[in-house]
Chains A and B, each alone.
Chain A
Amino acid sequence: MRKVFMTALVLVLAVACCAHADEVKIGACIYRFNDAFMLRFRNAMSAESEKLGAVITIADGQDNQTTQDEQVDAFIADGVNVLIVNTVDRMASQSIIDKAKAANIPVVFINREPTPEMLATYDKAYYVGAKAEESGTETGELVASYFKAHPEADKNKDGKLQFILLKGQNGHQDMILRSKYSVEAVKNAGIEPVELASAIANWDKLEAMKIMNGFIMSIGPENIEAVIANNDEMALGAIEALKAQDYNTGNPEAYIPVVGVDANASALEAMDKGEMLGTVLNDADNQGISAVRLAAALAEGKDTGTIGYEITDGKYIWIPYQKVTRGEKQ
């Protein structure tokens, strides 16, 4: 029912938008609206579209690939000039590429990367995003540099880093790469990483809080030297759990460095209060802007070299990550 309703809604919105036939019509699909990162992405896309004079319609996939497929169909049926898709399940990208190809409209994937083989099946398929491994590497580097600068951080004085890893949704590419490269970066900095425990907390604050609470109890906070989370919400959840045990509340004796990814508002506030060590900014604004510019250029058949972002291998726009640490505001 909800799906039918949403599809109908998308159609109505789309119809409402097609008053000006000569404008570029962009159909955008977001995997879930209430995701902090994708929200910034959305806002950037809307603003940029307005600037370019393009009409953009954004649909909420509600974390359901079937719903999103229906939304893509509705967009195509409505005659959009270009699609921007943030898939729910990145392995479903192929069917979306096929649909776009059949309708002969370009498609720009964002945030969740299709495999190179998939992109290769259609000349008008692109990907805009950040290199997930880069975000992993940078969080690892944040922890490593803190560890080196603060000898007291090595609580058991063994020269190794005992850490806890909080992971995002199972199978998510960012989760896999961030987890892998953050640990790698610690190793590359010359410190041996020791994983005390890791768990999947689905990008969620509440879940991360519960899991972290369990780890604090079973491992003991005095044995934990760092918490690496795949995103900020989970890092913040871990911090709430630590605060409940009087950790990370300003007492330097009881502090565990926690890092995340995204640099959202709550994370920045937590860093200002000294509760969180650092985060990595996944630059949603530039990703959103570049995705819309690329889409508009493709729709109008213009040269994609003029959009102001470099296109790698004819298929990719990579937006770099930025480290954000304590006290630095955006």
Chain B
Amino acid sequence: MSEYLLEMKNITKTFPGVKALDNVNLNVRKGTVHALMGENGAGKSTLMKCLFGIYEPNGGEIYLDGKKASIHSARQAMDQGIAMVHQELHPIRFRSVMENVYLGRFPGHMGVVDHKAMYERTKALFEDLELDVDPLALAGEQSAAILQMMEIARAVDMKAKIIILDEPTSSLSDREVDHLFKIINRLRAQGVAFIYISHKMKEILEISDEITVMRDGTYVGTWPVTDEKGEKLTIDFIIKQMVGREMTNQFPPREGKPGSDVVLKVEKVCSPLPKSFQNVSFELHKQEILGIGGLVGAQRTEFVEALFGLRGIASGEIMLNGARYTNKSPGFAKSRGLALLTEERRATGIFGILPILENTVIANQRNYAHFGVLNDSRRVKDADEECKKLNVKTPSLNTLIQNLSGGNQQKVLIARWLLTNSDILILDEPTRGIDVGAKYEIYNIMLEQIAQGKSIIMISSEMPELMGMSDRIMVMCEGRVTGFLNKGEYSQEKIMALATQFAGRKDAA
């Protein structure tokens, strides 16, 4: 019996022109939570994909329980007790929760599915995990948190020995995170090992037993969270290992103050859907960063999408620079100087199979065209300048954007909207799933834009970011604005109190 449940030794993986992993080691003990950390692009996802059989490593070995394992497909990985909960979940939306849990391994005989057994087993599983979900409910109607629990339930049912969690809390509210940790603790006590990928330092220090840090596709080291003397690792120490340098400030200093001119005035805007945003009113000033806080389900995203013309508005008035504005279409919003960086980068942001160049200039094509014919040299020049300015790390503009890390993809998307020279930038979770270094760069870009006279609306679910960057915070709860907080009166408690104002009802999950 080996000391470790899983050993990955000297894993090396190259893609054409890129060495993604260079002799990386990862050793995970039974019944522990092992955090895997590193900036985006450090190779965490690639390493996990090698473990999960999605990629074939060019070198190195994998041992399970001390025995050499051969994993060539996700199926084989699952058969050997490895399960993975992806960051972005893709359930089969129009099928029930239980069918999603048992997808690919329905209980039954000779191809006939035993629905009753499936129902009973799912129910038992959910009860065990303290999940209050009807197994017959449609997967597409569930929140991200529930879907994640569903995936974990699936892993548990498959008797997984190792569960990989990739950014599990990126779309969860604090309460949901607590629930998740409770489940992790219980399974850990049963001997299940977790590989936990996250950028959230506090969570990692709270939940994990050991930390492995990677940087630029190489192995940096592994440390126990609490050493023999009972001392915990510090956040600064981990950041130093990740970026290879000391990181003193999480947020760049804000210079100057918001102006007094109102650039956007929203009055009593209501969604046609009764459960969505209602009676939203606020003013956005020139050179202001207005943060929008709230729990998942507060309809913040829905509101900004409506503002940008992606959704309808039933009533209310919007004034843009003193003139009446109607949310006809995204194209119209763009022409009026609005820009929207969406929350779902992959689904509604990037064009994965297109090069960075096209991704950068796509919203600004008209400005390069005479009678519909494009001026290529100007496109390339602009894209090149903007990507350099935002420090996008890429071999060339012709690289497909899907080959970039999340942080770099996000920078390209920001470059896209900066090129349109919009006056009001709406950023929906601008730093989700992005590493510390890139986050800092994005904060810097935001401040630069403010300095140039732009205004920003930022939705964020990360309290420190919300408080660190906003000039003013508007908090929403279940589609309604529950209050504004000015700089100086911020505190997590106050924001939470406003965000859960209607807590008489069920948790807004």
Within 8 Å by CB, do A and B touch in the complex?
A: no
> Interface of B with A (CB < 8 Å)?
none
